[in-house]
Structure 1
Amino acid sequence: MTSTSQRSSGADVGAVTWLGKNGRLAAVPTGRRARRRLPHLLVGVLLVVVCVGGALWWAASAHDRVSVLAIARPVNVGHVLELADVHQVEISVADGVATIPADQAGTVLGKPMATSLTAGALLTPGSLGPSTIPASGKAVVAVGLKTGQFPLELAPGAPVLVVVAASSSTTALPTVQGSGDGPTWPATVTGVARAENDQTTVISLQMPSGTAPTLARVPAGQVTLVMLAGGER
């Protein structure tokens, strides 16, 4: 077999041609054609590095997750905790966050709730024991509301905004938060006694002790509750 180098207008510089058995010239790509393969190799290496890094990150994240107890359904203050009230969830716990490991479920069953919690809330050591409601400087007031005056999703532990419709008897009431014709106050739901047949539903609200008596004097039918996002006030 005979080899020869050939230059032409359509061939790459440095290409080598070989004379095959059939007498035809076959070009072997060298130089620039070979160098064109380098970017593809670099992309492949980069993909491998990204995949390995992602796998290591996922493994580290999964290692930091722990199984803890959370509330499976809304519970009110004073309720004796039952097995159906809790379930296991896996979370990444930050430093300083108090939780109860899932394998300690037997130690919390049969204990009273110190506060009201909504479904999905994490169970903490402070959630159990003697009632902490009302908290220091707070008072609990009950309001009777009809359908349409409060969200159907309302449950113990939910933060709300108490909105009082303006009337001749409420224009002199102080406005603690917000603006408008009537006063508004922040509060937290501590209990919900839902009525049957569209009758009045009694809702217990924890709010500053100086504001609770004022709300108690508001005539029935002038109060509406607006449920806020968790932690919003």
Structure 2
Amino acid sequence: MSTTMTRRNGSASPDSANRAARQATIVAQKKDPVRRRWGRIGGGVLAAVVGGWLFASLYLSADDRVEVLAVASDVARFDVIERSDLKVVTIAEDTDVSSIPASRLEDLVGRVASTDIVAGALLVDGHLLPDGDRLVAADEAVVGVLVGPGDSPTTGMTRGAQVSVVVRPVAGTNGTVAEVPGWIAGIGGEVSSNGDRPVEVVVARADAARVSAAAADRRVTIVVLGE
């Protein structure tokens, strides 16, 4: 007796299934390079967009900056400003920091510093004496005097004012009162609680030691003279 075996309709042979799997793998491998290529293109476009944005930001930031003057080296009070003392720097245009435009550089050469200025500081008008203001001569000296409420007038004590520095003798001696001509170089900051205020007086170099010694003993009175 013999038995006949038949395949069911719709069933695939093992060989057919293997061939179909290999074909699907080949098709997938052919498609992968396309996907990778589009991925690289997309990454390049993104990098270009980001780079363009950064360039635009830097370009616009450069337009928002201005050139101003700064101090290249330390400048002492009453020094004459030289070209080598100044340099040009850039700062943000919308900053609240006081400054002087670089276009004024040549106009400021020869001006006199009204205060000590450290290297690197931005130059401002307050650092300079008014143009044409009186300067301390080579044969003059600046003496600091701490004057009390009754040792100077309440008005007229301004820079450049002509004064007479009255030097009183040491108490208990037979010395005489001396008057030393001078002018006011500057007035100190806040008045102390007892009414004292510092004043800088310019006198002849020959009189500086005498005035300084008298000021240390509180034996100085300042009288403002008329024009």
TM-score normalized by structure 1?
0.44
Larger Rg: 1 or 2? 2
More helix by share: 2
More strand by share: 1
